[in-house]
Amino acid sequence: MLTAAITGLSLGFAIGAQVGPIWLLCARSALRHGVRVGIAIGGGAALVDLCYAALGVAGVARLVTVPWLRPILGLAGATVLAVIGGRTMWSAFRVRTGGEADDEVGSARVAFRTALAATASNPLTIASWAAAFAAASGSRLVEGAAPAALLVAAVGVGSLLWFTLLSCVAGWLGRRTGPRVLRGVDALSGIAVLSFAGVLGLRSVRGD
């Protein structure tokens, strides 16, 4: 059981630490709106990671190998990321003086919903989790239903741990950063997320 917990924590932490659209979304949100909003982003991402890890264990990953389904899932994910990236870039060109409307100000609830949509927009990650669990099972790190369940839960905890650390650092920096720098971060984050969307869309069309 201890091995399952350590393995799950390590997997969740490592996957969360990979630089990607959710990593950028979390850091940018914590910089602009504070630690609480960043952790909400991380919570949404960790919940989806946990669910996808469970689906990987259950063998649902075989669905994403269906030839006609892979490009549909990939293009759907690319579209969601493109919308998020576009909105992030748009915010970089707006004057932010603290007078935004209430529905424009980041909140933990809105951030959590955004993270759920952004992370779940790429169901192809189920295959990655399935590969990770296949490796764990093949090396006899996890055997039995109880250790597997513990490993899945630990994945969520490990992912949340990473995003919490990232949010704390970004939130600390955000309190010491001026509006001009924040607009620059928005622009760079938007470009990066749009790039991720483009790569995902291209790979989906090409069938990579």
* Domain-located, residue 205: no
* Domain-located, residue 82: no
Segment 181-205 shows an average pLDDT of 79
Q: Write out the two tokens for 112.
A: 């959590």
pLDDT band at residue 102, thresholds of 50, 70 and 90? Answer: very low
Q: How many domains does the chain have?
A: 1
Which residue has better confidence, 34 or 95?
Answer: 34
Cα–Cα distances in angstroms (integers) from residue 143 to residues 35, 88, 133, 157, 200, in the given order = 38, 44, 11, 20, 34
* Domain-located, residue 93: no
Segment 11-38 shows an average pLDDT of 85
Which residue has better confidence, 124 or 75?
Answer: 75
* Domain-located, residue 188: no
The mean pLDDT value of the chain amounts to: 75
Percent residues over pLDDT 90 in the chain: 9
Q: According to the per-residue pLDDT averaged within each range, which of 17-31, 107-121, 125-139 is highest?
A: 17-31
User: Is 126's pLDDT higher than 70?
Assistant: no
Residue appearing with tokens 């669910």: 51
* Domain-located, residue 207: no
Give the per-residue pLDDT at 161.
Answer: 93
Give the per-residue pLDDT at 136.
Answer: 58
Which residue has better confidence, 119 or 132?
Answer: 119
User: Is 183's pLDDT higher than 50?
Assistant: yes
Q: Write out the two tokens for 10.
A: 């390590």
* Domain-located, residue 86: no
* Domain-located, residue 198: no
Segment 197-201 shows an average pLDDT of 78
Domain residue limits at 49: 2-76+101-177
**CA 131 to chain centroid:** 18
Phi, psi torsion values for 93, nearest 5 degrees: -100, 10
User: Is 144's pLDDT higher than 70?
Assistant: no
Give the per-residue pLDDT at 40.
Answer: 92
Segment 20-36 shows an average pLDDT of 86
Q: According to the per-residue pLDDT averaged within each range, which of 22-26, 48-52, 57-61, 132-136 is highest?
A: 22-26
Cα–Cα distances in angstroms (integers) from residue 105 to residues 1, 38, 75, in the given order = 43, 13, 29
pTM for the predicted model, two decimal places: 0.73
* Domain-located, residue 54: yes
- Spatial separation of the C-alpha atoms in residues 95 and 106, rounded to whole Å: 16
